[in-house]
Structures are given as structure tokens and as C-alpha cells.
Structure 1
């Protein structure tokens, strides 16, 4: 998905929002927080969980992972993303 040319402009925009929010711009911080809260809610609603108490922690983990991958992708760190995905395969064993 991160390599999709139709998606990439939105990923760049979200990175810009975070950068501006990190500089202390409250307007951009509010927009970025709303975006991430909405994304977290969407992930949580899409997850299939065995126990409801696991929904939010797993959604937060998925959000942190995907956003981390987005940041690494923006820096051209595809090999690190590939290693992380390999780590997930090791963890499943």
C-alpha cells in the first residue's frame, strides 16, 4: 500500500502534519490527533479478536506498527521493514 502512487500523497501529508504538530503548532496537532484517533477506531472496529479486552491494545499495536513502517518507508528504509516483517514470522513460531 505504501508504494501505491494513489496513496503516497496522503502518506506524505500525514508525515507533514506530524512534523508540524511536533514543532508545537496546536492547530496541526489537533488535526493529526483526530486523524490518528479515527484511524485507531477504524482499526479497532476491523479487528477480529477472541477477547474484547484485547481489541484496543491490538489496535494500538497495529497503528504503531503501520505508522512506524510509513516513517521508515519515507526514509527509504525498506530493508528494515522487511526485517521487521521477518521478525513477525519468527514470533509466530
Structure 2
């Protein structure tokens, strides 16, 4: 029976990034590092699948134009209300401070 190698997670990630991010050929890396071709191919496929899932999650977190407009309008209304309250408080403070003289 053949001995089954186990590779550390960091090593798998490093080697996979050589293929995916640096554009190195799987065949070349397999020969250089003495890794079975099928093994590296599985690592690369798994890494790409994870990248696609992460990208899909990021896309789902982005707001649509209508959601952004609604958020903008809500924030704008809150700001106008606060400015109005501030103006009322300033007028009240002016009235109360003038009465003491």
C-alpha cells in the first residue's frame, strides 16, 4: 500500500496561490515539489470554488441603487430634523439668556 502524504494547511494554500495568483503551471509545481498532479489539481479547484463563494457573498452584501437611495433619504431626513432641533435650542437659549440682563 502506498504511503499517503499529509500536507500542512499553510503549504497547501501557498502552493495553490502559486497556481491561481501567480499563474504557474500545475505540472511544473508538481515536478518541483514532488506533489501528485491530482492532489494539486484538487487543491486548486477547492481554492477557486472558495474564491467564487466569497465573491458571491460580497456581491450579496452590496446595496442596490434603490436601497442606497432609501438609506440616503433616511439619513438626510434625520440630519434635517437634528438641524431643526438645534436651531430651536439656539433660539430658546438666546431667549433665556436675554431675559436675565
* TM-score computed with the length of structure 2 as normaliser: 0.27
* Bigger CA radius of gyration: 2
* Greater RCO structure (CA 8 Å; 6+ sep): 1
* TM-score computed with the length of structure 1 as normaliser: 0.29
